[in-house]
Amino acid sequence: MNILSSLVAISAVLSEFKCDAYTQNPARHPMATSPQNTRSSTSNRSTTKDDNITTRDVLSLSSIRSSLIRQEETIIFALIERAQFRRNEVVYEVGGVPGLGWPQGARLVSDGEGGGGELSFLDFMLIGTEVLHSAVRRYESPEEHAFFPHRIPTRTNSLSKLDYPELLSNSDALNSLNWNPILYEKYLNLVVPAIATKGDDEQYGSTVLADIAALQALSKRIHFGKFVAESKYRSDPEGFQRLVDAGDADGVMRLLTNEEVEEQVLTRARLKAATYGREPMLTALPKVKGGDEDSATAIIASAAAMAVVAACEAVQNQKEHDTKLKGKVDPAIIESIYRQLIIPMTKDIEVAYLFLRCGRDPPKDYAPDRMSVDVTALQSRNIS
């Protein structure tokens, strides 16, 4: 693979190329938006019927599909953010940073298990975050699952309940299907060591904020399996009921698996990981002489060049460019996180959901602890 020759070829093509969208229609240029336009749209408070929509409009099966792809950005950015800090293992140890106490408002449960004793720095921040967010109805949404549901107090403020559409079957067993405990364990034991340099940099607050963003994004993504499972169930209720009655979890899994789509997700994740967090390569290209048209061309040329470098990086072996990865996450690791954690957990949740939906408990080997057996290390698959 020769990055340089790709770049030379691209800049040769682009020096002949004029981008009409930029040069002929000044309104499309980001800098061309007049400040007046921006202001009037936010300050004019009168609304028409079309301006307001409801929770039911916001959350639909089609919005969920597009949300799944956007979540890839959220997850990858969150992991890149976490990779800026050292591993800082002390934030994960109970009492590792002593003297924090408990976050305000958290329920102390006297269940023998930390009924008010020391917390880890991460748990302190995560419980406090969930207590605060629960006050504004976060965990009443079918898209959200708390990591510490038993620490969240009953909401007493007067915010009304939002009216969610019936995207999921409403049963206690399905609502309480929550795989965050296993996600949490896998995140700490596999993901953090894979993306963060070992050692300590004292940035504990920033570290756990990045952890919380990543955990919440991952949790949302894997629990979207519930929506996927429900929509598949609705397309063939008898078929799923038959398989579940026969206890055929593998058969259910086969119906849920689309290898082509999974490969697409993996490739997309790897490519996005290689692209994000990269310096724009404006200086790496030959200067294009001339006026505005040419500077637009230069921007496009450097964007294309970045895409080439990112794509090259995405298909290269990790070992070859370890040294260039400072502060970035190896795209192969992001792919592994998708291949070994996100996709399998999503599918296991789908199987568990479908069993419960058909009135049965999921078989033992599809219970959350299966992940403990299946995934003990993240492995990057070599693409040569």
Ligand X SMILES: *[C@@H]1O[C@H](CO)[C@@H](O)[C@H](O)[C@H]1NC(C)=O
Distances from the Cα of 68 to the Cα of 143, 269, 356, angstroms: 11, 12, 23
46 contributes a contact to ligand X by CB under 6 A? yes
Side-chain half-sphere exposure of 51, counting CA atoms within 13 A: 7
49 contributes a contact to ligand X by CB under 6 A? yes
* Cα 328 to Cα 314: distance, rounded to the nearest angstrom: 13
Longest dimension (CA), the chain: 73
Toward ligand X, which CB reaches closer, 52 or 66?
52
* Least gap, CB of 53 to ligand X (angstroms): 9
Cα 318 from chain centre: 22
> Residue written as tokens 């499309």?
28
- Using CB under 6 A, which of 2, 36, 42, 47 touches ligand X? 47
Q: If we measure between CA atoms, which residue out of 151, 82, 111, 99 comes closest to residue 327?
A: 82
What residues contact 200, with CB distance under 8 A and at least 6 apart? 86, 87, 88, 89, 90
**Applying CB under 6 A, which part among 40-48, 94-102, 308-316, 328-336 lies near ligand X?**
40-48
Over the window 185 to 224, marking each residue x when it contacts ligand X by CB under 6 A and - when it does not, the resulting string is ----------------------------------------
* Cα 349 to Cα 368: distance, rounded to the nearest angstrom: 8
* Least gap, CB of 36 to ligand X (angstroms): 12
* Least gap, CB of 163 to ligand X (angstroms): 15
* Least gap, CB of 205 to ligand X (angstroms): 35
160 contributes a contact to ligand X by CB under 6 A? no
Three-state DSSP class for residue 159: coil
* Least gap, CB of 71 to ligand X (angstroms): 28
C-beta atoms surrounding 249 within 10 Å: 20
Toward ligand X, which CB reaches closer, 1 or 162?
162
Pull the structure tokens for residue 303. 């964007």
- Using CB under 6 A, which of 5, 34, 36, 52 touches ligand X? 52
Toward ligand X, which CB reaches closer, 16 or 50?
50
* Least gap, CB of 46 to ligand X (angstroms): 5
Toward ligand X, which CB reaches closer, 54 or 382?
54
**Applying CB under 6 A, which part among 47-55, 67-75, 96-104, 181-189 lies near ligand X?**
47-55
Strands (E), 175-295: none
Q: If we measure between CA atoms, which residue out of 103, 132, 134, 125 comes closest to residue 116?
A: 103
* Least gap, CB of 44 to ligand X (angstroms): 4
Toward ligand X, which CB reaches closer, 52 or 235?
52
Toward ligand X, which CB reaches closer, 47 or 160?
47
User: Could you list the residues that contact ligand X (CB under 6 A)?
Assistant: 44, 46-49, 52
